[in-house]
Amino acid sequence: MRVLGALLRASVLVLVFGAAGPAGIARAEAPVASFSWFPSAPHTGEPISLASTATDATSPITSFAWDLAGGGAFGEAGPVIATTFPTAGTHVVRLLVTAADGSSSIAAATIQVTDPPAGVLLPFPVVRVVGNVLRSGLKIRLLSVEAPPGASISVACRGRGCPLSSERQAATTTSVEAVTLRFHRFERLLPAGVVLEVRVSKAGRVGEYTRLLIRHRRPPLRLDECLDPAGITPMRCPSGG
């Protein structure tokens, strides 16, 4: 009953089919079909509870039939059923209720299903840069990335003095929790004004973005943010991520 109490009433379309009462006199009222679902904003693959909230003032409701395809056949079931939707988008669900006197009605509602929010890449990547600050820039002695198996790491270099424009490596899947990859070709003197961008990504996950601006006589200006699940655009890290 606690779950049913949490259900939100749906906006439904109701079709009523009357039944004749004694001596062929049509009954004054017919069952009112309606249903709710929980959670109210489901994600793909997430279990959803559908619960009838149908009422009838004159005759008990004896039958519940559900159409989860929004235009298919009704299947007999109880007043509460569970289902999942494998795809995002709008899904029409119908409920047919029948009272003891044979009268019935149908309720239809549209459920909006969305993809679940992207999870954070775990363990979260660590970008390490070790070097010597010089008058002309930064002499990098170590540029490495620690990332979980399956992650893709790219290093892009912009500005005059870059040894190459970009390099990409993949964290080969292994039995360890994290893989450390080293980018030797960038371990050299980088003059002031050069910008290094490190992206650590994995499909469907929020990754890591690090930006280094090489400066004269000062440590590089470093910016660490999260990376969108597409692995392209820096973004604010999710709350608690």
Q: Phi first, then psi: give them for residue 226, nearest 5 degrees.
A: -90, 165
Please, which residues have CB within 8 angstroms of residue 216's CB and are 6 or more apart in sequence? 135, 136, 137, 192
C-alpha closest to that of 95 among 111, 107, 77:
107
Whole-structure pTM value: 0.61
Q: Cis peptide leading into 234, omega within 30 of 0?
A: no
pLDDT value for 161: 94
Rounded to whole angstroms, how far apart are CA atoms 74 and 106?
10
Contact, 191 vs 173, CB < 8 A? no
pLDDT value for 173: 75
pLDDT < 70 positions in the chain = 1-28, 240-241
pLDDT value for 18: 54
Alpha-carbon dihedral angle through residues 136, 128, 227, 158, given to the nearest 10 degrees: 20
Contact, 158 vs 194, CB < 8 A? yes
Per-residue pLDDT of 206-216, as tens digits, reads 999 999 999 99
